[in-house]
Structure 1
Amino acid sequence: MTTSAEAPLIAHREDDDGPENDEQRHRDDGYADGTAQDEEPRGSGDRNIGLFMWLLAISAGISGLLFGYDTGVISATLVSLGTSLSGRELTLGDKSIVTSCTSLLALVASPLSSLLADRFGRRPVILLADVLFAAGALGQAYAGTVGQMVAGRSVVGAAVGAASFVTPLYIAELAPAAHRGMLVTLNVLAITLGQVVAYVVGWAFAGHDQGWRYMVGLGALPAVLQAALLLGMPETPRWLVKVGRAAAARQVIGKTLGAGSGLAAERVLQDIRREVREEEEEGGGGVRAKGGRAWTEGWRELGTVPKNRRALTIACLLQGLQQLCGFNSLMYFSATIFTLLGFSIPTLTSLSVAVSNFVFTVAALLLIDRIGRRRILLYSIPFMALGLLLSAGGFRFIKLPDHGLGGIPDSSGDADKSGGGGGAAVTILISMTIFVAAYALGLGNVPWMQSELFPLNVRSLGSGLSTATNWSANFVVGLTFLPLMDALTPAWTFVLYAAVCVVGWVAVWRIYPETTGLSLEEVAGLLGEDWGVRRAGARARLGARSGR
């Protein structure tokens, strides 16, 4: 809702976005070169998060809840299926396919949904994801064969792929610059909450005959809720400006910044318009929602423009590292692992790990905009490697079943209880908790801020491709984790993941600049000449000394 002081301004200006009219608007509002004559500080509109912005972030975050629930619930499902599918116990190959098919479809859906997000807007893609979430959940609940279960998990995978790409993009394009990290992390918090809920539901239904059907079927409920909430959620101002609807964009910006933000809202709008105009003058434009350049031109822009190429490299590095460190192997197979270790109620033990993930994501929510994206990664990744190495040490004292991981019982109630209190098992549980806590602080949330790295003309496509990288790595981890545990032994599998963390830390140190506190337009300019690490560091130190 706009204030009365802004209403004449909006009524006076319509959506003619030509350069001459844009420059005239600057002069009309007291702008000569993009700077207001008013003495209001540039960041004044970013000091507080308005109620409307909180509501938007929470509503959009339901996608994260669904994402977390559907990736977490499979852990409890795998140890509860018994002979429910195809009248037989699931083999090691069955478990790997049921798990990894979600990632494979997410991989396919991510870049395709980026095309839809540019063509039709961010909101319709969220709605499409909700439809797929509901359909996939019901498909799993009524599955009678392994093939039907794979089909249901695949539909959910397409939903996860679309939601994991579009929700952080939607929040980032709406959020004030000073709080963008926290609001995007709110979506990650919803993911971890979804995983906690999945483990609680898994534990609650573990002893019930066919209880796994309720576990997977309940995923339809949040999807229906979010679809209803979409009626009150606006499109992002950056997409609206891109398709020539500047007046609507101005109203959305005013709502997200809160009352009394007239000048700040106008300044944000002019920054967006200026970026769009400069990209068009440079021959950019990427994927236009109404007509415009072909989708292939967006690919060319990503590959040939140096700043876009650097942004894509950083985003893909972070997304790939997030999965190749092995974290989701704990989410998918934690109950299987804790059954191997001899815990009597593996789903409940898995819940303790999921709760640690949630608690430390809350800490990340509070710290990310204070410490910064780059520093929180550099601080947390070494503790991830430490946790993995401690786990590897503990696994050296664990004896595998006679027939490898294929010999692990599928019923949590039939696990051998003798190893649950052993020192090695407790050491592994503690070390996994250290790993998960460090992951939640940094690598669990920073990669999802990928959209801030890309200029507007390639933001959707670049975010979609980097999200596809995430799901490619997720697919590899989901498909290979149990075979690696069998072939290399659990100890060496965790050493391998620790080595990935070390290599990732070096890469982050070399090429990932600090983006905290910068507007999306400022971040896009940071990578214009080089990786921007030194310039971003100098800027952060200058801001700290000036108290900003």
Structure 2
Amino acid sequence: MTSSLKSTTLDNDIEGTMDLQELSKSDDILEAMNKELQHLEEESVTRPFGLFIWKSPSVFTAVLACFASIGGLLYGIDLTLISGANLYFPKDLHLSSGQESQVVSFMPLGGVLGALMIYLLNESLGRKPTIMIAAAFYTIGGILEAASQSYGMLISARLIVGVGVGIELGSVPMYIAECSTKRWRGGLVSLYQLMINFGMLLGYADSAIFHGVPGNWRYMLGSCCLFSVILLVGMIFFPESPRWLMRRGRKVDSYITWKKIRGFEEREEKEEFFYMEEVVTEERDEAAKRVVWKDFLIKPRCRRAAVVSLVYMILCQFTGISSISYYMSTLMEKSGLSPDNALYTSMGPGFVYFGATIPAVFLMDAWGRRAVILTLLPGIVIGDFITGFSFLATKTSVKEGIYVWGICTYYLFWGSWGPAQWVITSEVFPTYLRSHGVMLNGVVNMLSNFATAYPFTRMLSALTPTGLFCGFYAGICVLLWIFSFLFVPETKGKTLEEINAIYNKSHWDVCRENLRNGIEAFKDIIHGNWNRVWVYQRG
């Protein structure tokens, strides 16, 4: 059974609508699918596995997104646990400064390997099993980290953890995006960044709890296993992405899953399901005739999506967020704090970072992606300048106070702005290329992470802390703001299939439209019409 439903368009050929005749036809198709489902159930045909215990689809989708986002919590814990453990394991294992840097920064290299596995795992097994495999790598790596007796064993464990990071950082946002309604997709995907930040806070707290325990760094690094096991076991009871099921030709399974996580009570849910079926089926049939990897080069729509997402991801990492998190305790020491006080003080910025992400869950869909990005990036620059100039203070207490103020400011704005990278990555690619595109983004993310983390101590020495924060990191933020202003389109309130129309426009058409809208927004700001710039409403 196939749907012949076609989407008419409004708002520059983006919004899909149905007339009464089409809606009636869709109801007939829905009734036919219900009969087919009933027949299959009577014959005990295999259904997509998942424990559907919530009757409300909206509640179930929110629970699904929250639970899958535990993958982000694991990433966040690792970012900060290594910061605290780094104060102790080099002495216990008698590591040189070079070996210490490698242990801290080689996790992203494992992440590159994990990211390279995203396409194969997601396409062959599905989103859900891929997330479970990532959790298994986390668990194995965490156990090996805690049991490490040498440099070789510890760095191997870090690489294994990195594989888990590389797999889940692409798979979790993609899974959430493919299961979410367009009205809440930005906010639900932003939960991933929220959980990263919550994980970072837990990592700081964990490090502080174990700081006085013999062999403390082993407990720190091994504690992530608790959450990885929860994710591994818990994902068993959640369904596969309906879009992946449809792409694999499992239409009835896709229908069952959609009915549970989205429902068919509202007209727009019916529209989106049938439009999704039509687009995904067409993409699948077309992709079977060629090598789809070439589409990143020869198809303008795919090439534009890759350019926007990859450049955005690279510049995000070069703002220094990962390096600052990895070396937070070390930077605290440089500001004059003792190792123990550095661990406790790190919790302050951790609280700010976590709390600042909560508004992003609502603003990403209420304001829109561009408004969030362009409004908050200047605040990150201000945080960079405050942090950088803190190192010029001659009095230790003043240096410590200004440094904490600067880092808190940096985290305050980064926390609300950071989710945009995962939202953009998860939604810009067409369904048949989403695994491929997310894999490329994962590789770029991990390579950029490594490129900023591994030489961090040498950059700190060569550029001085003031030059690194005020010059390099702040300069990258300015470049990112300009790139976002010109080339990042707004996707608020669009289904994943409707976004195709946005990226069918050339970069220059998007640039002209963004410039025109930017000039209008600037005029509104000058005249005090702020409610026209920051419009709080759902798409």
TM-score (normalizing by structure 2)? 0.84
- Higher deviation after alignment, 357-366 or 262-271: 262-271
Which residue matches 1:267? 271
| CA–CA separation in structure 2 for the residues paired with 1:34 and 1:123 | 37
Q: Evaluate the alpha carbon distance shift between residue 521 and residue 128 of structure 1 in structure 2; reply closer, same or farther with a 3 A threshold.
A: same
Displacement of 1:533: 5.4
Which residue matches 1:325? 319
Q: Name the SS of the counterpart of 2:303 in structure 1.
A: helix
Displacement of 1:520: 0.5
Structure 2: gaps (5+ residues): 8-16, 28-55, 522-531
| CA–CA separation in structure 1 for the residues paired with 2:537 and 2:310 | 34
- Higher deviation after alignment, 98-107 or 266-275: 266-275
Does residue 23 of structure 1 match 2:17? no
From 407, 414, 429, the equivalent of 1:454 is 429
Which residue matches 1:66? 74
From 463, 468, 491, the equivalent of 1:488 is 463
Displacement of 1:91: 2.7
Which residue matches 1:191? 196
Which residue matches 2:236? 231
| CA–CA separation in structure 1 for the residues paired with 2:164 and 2:467 | 34
Which residue matches 1:76? 84
Which residue matches 2:332? 338
From 301, 308, 320, the equivalent of 1:307 is 301
Displacement of 1:211: 1.1
From 484, 496, 505, the equivalent of 1:508 is 484
- AA paired with 1:352? G
Q: CA-to-partner distance for each residue in 1:87-137, whole Å, 9 max, x for gaps?
A: x2x332122111111111112211321221012111111111011000000
Q: Evaluate the alpha carbon distance shift between residue 212 and residue 280 of structure 1 in structure 2; reply closer, same or farther with a 3 A threshold.
A: closer
Displacement of 1:187: 1.4
Report if aligned partners of 1:373, 1:442 keep a CA contact under 8 Å in 2: no
Displacement of 1:163: 0.6
Displacement of 1:265: 3.8
TM-score (normalizing by structure 1)? 0.83
From 357, 361, 366, the equivalent of 1:361 is 357
- AA paired with 2:3? D
Q: CA-to-partner distance for each residue in 1:458-491, whole Å, 9 max, x for gaps?
A: 1111011012111111001110111111122111
Which residue matches 1:171? 176
Report if aligned partners of 1:322, 1:447 keep a CA contact under 8 Å in 2: no
Structure 1: gaps (5+ residues): 1-15, 41-47, 286-291, 399-417
Q: Name the SS of the counterpart of 2:497 in structure 1.
A: helix
| CA–CA separation in structure 2 for the residues paired with 1:445 and 1:205 | 34
Identical-residue share of aligned pairs (%): 27
Give the aligned length. 483
| CA–CA separation in structure 2 for the residues paired with 1:522 and 1:255 | 23
Q: Name the SS of the counterpart of 2:275 in structure 1.
A: helix
Q: Evaluate the alpha carbon distance shift between residue 534 and residue 278 of structure 1 in structure 2; reply closer, same or farther with a 3 A threshold.
A: farther
Q: CA-to-partner distance for each residue in 1:361-397, whole Å, 9 max, x for gaps?
A: 0121121111111111111111111211222222223
Which residue matches 1:523? 499
Does residue 377 of structure 1 match 2:373? yes
- AA paired with 1:310? R
Displacement of 1:32: 8.0
Report if aligned partners of 2:148, 2:154 keep a CA contact under 8 Å in 1: yes
Q: Name the SS of the counterpart of 1:185 in structure 2.
A: helix
Say what the alpha-carbon RMSD is for the aligned residues.
2.8
- AA paired with 2:80? G
Displacement of 1:437: 1.1
Displacement of 1:300: 0.6
Q: CA-to-partner distance for each residue in 1:4-31, whole Å, 9 max, x for gaps?
A: xxxxxxxxxxxx4xxxx432899xxx97
- AA paired with 1:179? W
From 188, 212, 215, the equivalent of 1:210 is 215
Q: CA-to-partner distance for each residue in 1:251-305, whole Å, 9 max, x for gaps?
A: 21121224x6265443222111221244356x3x2xxxxxx468xx232111211
Displacement of 1:312: 0.7
